[in-house]
Amino acid sequence: MIICYIGDSLTLGYGDPAGLGWPGRISGALRTGETDVTSYNLGVRRDTTPKMAARWKAEAALRRIPGEPCKLVFNFGVADQVNKVSETETLVAAEAMLTEAKAMGDVLVVGPTPVLDEALCSRIAYLSPAVGGLCRKLGAPFIPLLDVLMADPVFTQSLADNDDVHPAAPGYAAMARHLLAAPALRAFFGLVEAQR
């Protein structure tokens, strides 16, 4: 299985000294004796959704292998709000990007994450359900993270320990833990639930 994680600095794992971020931890959990996983982190610092829409396809296409399933995991929105990209611009770029991505492989969208700045976080909170609505329209699974991470003391402390936008390593680990527990992610990667 080929996985491309496409996003901004939060996908890149900025602030994690190990360089794993949440994508490295997800891919690590997916690697088992029965599952062959090749993953690529295509996160770019300060990358807004319009910029991402212009670059993702060429980068992901280089990493495809004929006959191998291709999974495309997108995470966007926070850099848009930091860089004052309007919700309309974000959604227009996201719709074009995700529509095209669905023709290349399976698509999953990880929702934007909270930050400690109240005004910025309220704008992200407004954007997240709009992205979720777009994903429903396109038939792409969406995992909202805003509320669950705001309620996670490890994540919020990790934001405070770093720069208030990017968590330190424990925050990325908490994010990966929540994602791995999400039914949408488990279904997307075909994770079999343990028999009781």
Give residue 193's pLDDT: 60
Evaluated on CA atoms 25, 190, 8, 68, the torsion sign reads: positive
Give residue 164's pLDDT: 97
- Under-70 pLDDT residues of the chain: 33, 192-196
Give residue 195's pLDDT: 39
Give residue 32's pLDDT: 75
Q: Are 68 and 105 in contact (CB under 8 A)?
A: no
How many angstroms separate the CA atoms of 180 and 166, rounded? 20
The CA–CA distances, whole Å, from 52 to 77, 87, 119 equal 11, 15, 24
Give residue 141's pLDDT: 98
What kind and span of H or E run contains 33?
none
Coil/strand/helix, residue 192: coil
In terms of Cα–Cα distance, which of 47, 118, 116 is closest to 79? 47
Give residue 196's pLDDT: 39
Give residue 43's pLDDT: 98
pLDDT digits (tens, 9 = 90+) for 160-178: 999 999 999 999 999 999 9
Domains and CATH numbers, the chain: 2-188 (3.40.50.1110)
- First-to-last alpha carbon distance for the chain, in angstroms, is 28
Work out the number of other CB atoms within 10 angstroms of the CB of residue 135.
Answer: 23
Give residue 35's pLDDT: 76
Give residue 33's pLDDT: 65
